[in-house]
Amino acid sequence: MGLSSSVFTREELEEYADLTYFTEGEIIDLHKKFMSLVDDDSKDKKGSRINKERMMELTEIKFNPFADRLCDVFSTSEEEDSSMSFDDFLDMMNALSENASFKLKAQYAFRVFDINENGFVDPEDIEEIVMRLTKDEGLGEKELMDELIESMMVEADLDKDGQLSLAELEHVLSKSADFMNSFKIRV
């Protein structure tokens, strides 16, 4: 563990391990992966950030139709660039970990799917989700899209307010056998 002492203090590593689903060794590996994406020359572990475009080159998310949303949701940057610090990156990898709880994954899925960021997953968001997932194959007709959205809302919108709350989305996701397997990244 010579690398860990030069990158993190023992206390930092223990704290990261306590706060995540990762072992200390996995945290060190994730830090290496993060630093491999850092463009700046300083490579300062505390101040380095990965811009959104560079982050979306990460093998684990580059083919994900929601890669940009993952960056937006997990970034703590005050700027519009959605750049990520190591802590942001670790939070994202933690939420997408195989060991993360359903509740944690569902909360982040809600934020990712709330594309217009109005606090709900509404028909506008659902249309964008479907477009991203299907890449507009076969759903180009407005009528088909409207039927699909209406069908989804009838099934999922329990309080019939025309939008999905976190609790409603959690309910839908709890019935999806694939959710826990698809909302993850292997480390």
Closest C-alpha among 23, 52, 25, 22 to residue 37: 52
Question: What does the DSSP assignment read for 43-94?
Answer: --TTT--B-HHHHTT-TTTTT-TTHHHHHHHH---SSTT--B-HHHHHHHHH
Residue 139 confidence (pLDDT) = 59
Domains and CATH numbers, the chain: 2-95 (1.10.238.10), 102-182 (1.10.238.10)
Instruction: Give the model confidence (pLDDT) of 92-106 as tens digits.
Output: 999 999 999 999 999
pTM: 0.88
Contact 26, 187 (CB under 8 A): yes
Neighbours of 185 (CB within 10 A): 17
Ranges under pLDDT 70 in the chain: 1-6, 40-46, 136-140
What gap in Å lies between CA 3 and CA 15, rounded to an integer? 17
What gap in Å lies between CA 105 and CA 170, rounded to an integer? 9
Instruction: Give the model confidence (pLDDT) of 124-153 as tens digits.
Output: 999 999 999 888 565 567 888 899 899 999
